[in-house]
Copies of this chain bind each other. A is one copy, B any other.
């Protein structure tokens, strides 16, 4: 007799059979007396089809009209899911984002939730009905249909779970949970039983594609524990929650890999704090995230150079931004120094844990990988490495931290 919010992504509701499969899963919870709220995305492919049609009509479509159009994707799925539940004898009713009281600001295509009333959701649950809510969408104060941007349906589920004080929030997706490494690279990668919000956030920002950071941040902020699990089997997934760890618990939770980075080197910069700050201010103003920064000073002329990595898709805009800055500074050179892979180990307390960095670099050395770029946070160490050696490096690091296994291992906390 729990209140459960379940979210099913686009792949999970991708076609008629999969929607029926989702309905059967929901029925299991409903039959044992749980109150179930279901958040669904658009069927996989539908959003891309809609965008393609819009761009064929107008290469620069208006954001408001994009939202008007995109919101139809989830609206179709909620109706189909309700029909599928009716077909197997489960009373259910669908709700658009607006009807579920998901109120947002007016920033179309990337709206933020400002308030969540739930509409008549609790009344319908108390009548014994399953309520199906359209993910990804809301209503602005001026009555406009808005969408929440990438990861929006996860956010809808977590925000609803917070609003109605759900006992459980389940994010159903096409993977079994959060793994110690990408199982396509590391054969002995293991599914984590649980992971802290912070670790999940670092994994998300380090190339693990399970969830967008935004939803994890929201869950952390409002203290909503949630489970990431597969809609294609009945295995338990990974619980993401607040975990208090002591020094003794400190372990590497996982190894992530991001192949989309490019190394940039800016040379001949005046070596003073103002000009270095000006570089990062300019990049920040253009919403360019830089990582793994190394600064060197050239002995010959006293000029500074900065090497860092940016997302490969942002190399062109980075060049534009720094070239403009060089004019102001009266100095500077830009060089795109090739693609790199970013390998990260993530785990609460690892930075302060003795021996972790040593283990990491020994493992990299064992497969002949050198790294010029390194960055650390409280719970993450990232290294920039040659892309062609990335898979071997991930496997070596995974083994070195004792993550290889056959079954599931319990990592971090009780």
Contacts and interface: CB of A to CB of B under 8 A. Distances in A.
Interface of A: 16, 19-20, 50, 53-54, 56-59, 61-62, 64-66, 68-69, 71-72, 75-76, 78-80, 82-84, 86-87, 93-94, 96, 99, 143, 145
A87 to B, nearest CB: 4
B58 A68 contact: no
A146 to B, nearest CB: 13
A391 B222 CA distance: 73
Given A16-B57, A20-B57, A143-B99, A75 B68 contact: yes
Nearest to A23: B57
Given A57-B83, A65-B86, A72-B72, 17 more contacts: A16-B56, A54-B79, A58-B87, A61-B83, A62-B83, A62-B86, A64-B93, A65-B79, A65-B80, A65-B82, A65-B83, A68-B94, A68-B96, A69-B75, A69-B76, A69-B80, A71-B75
A368 to B, nearest CB: 53
Nearest to A62: B86
B75 A79 contact: no
Nearest to A82: B65
Contacts of A94: 65, 68
Contacts of A78: 68
A126 B137 CA distance: 30
Contacts of A99: 143
20 contacts: A16-B53, A16-B56, A16-B57, A19-B57, A57-B84, A57-B87, A59-B87, A62-B82, A65-B80, A65-B82, A65-B83, A65-B94, A68-B75, A68-B82, A68-B94, A69-B75, A69-B76, A71-B75, A72-B75, A75-B75
Interface centre among A19, A20, A57, A76 (most CB of B within 10 A): A57
A41 to B, nearest CB: 14
Contacts of A96: 68, 145
A90 to B, nearest CB: 11
A287 B80 CA distance: 30
Q: Which of A71, A72, A83 has the most CB of B within 10 A?
A: A83
A234 B143 CA distance: 37
Nearest to A67: B79
A20 B59 CA distance: 13
Contacts of A84: 57-58
A83 B58 contact: yes
A94 to B, nearest CB: 5
A64 B94 CA distance: 9
A72 B86 CA distance: 21
Nearest to A77: B69
Contacts of A72: 72, 75-76
Nearest to A142: B120
A14 to B, nearest CB: 12
A76 B145 CA distance: 13
A59 B96 CA distance: 23
Contacts of A83: 54, 57-58, 61-62, 65
A50 B72 CA distance: 12
Q: Enumerate the 7 nearest inter-chain pairs by beta-carbon distance, A residue then B residue, closest first.
A: A69-B79, A72-B72, A58-B87, A58-B83, A68-B79, A65-B79, A16-B56
A301 B92 CA distance: 59
A76 B62 contact: no
Given A16-B53, A53-B80, A76-B50, A86 B68 contact: no
A19 to B, nearest CB: 6
Of the listed residues A19, A61, A69, A94, the one surrounded by the most CB atoms of chain B closer than 10 A to its CB is A69
A59 B86 CA distance: 10
Contacts of A66: 79
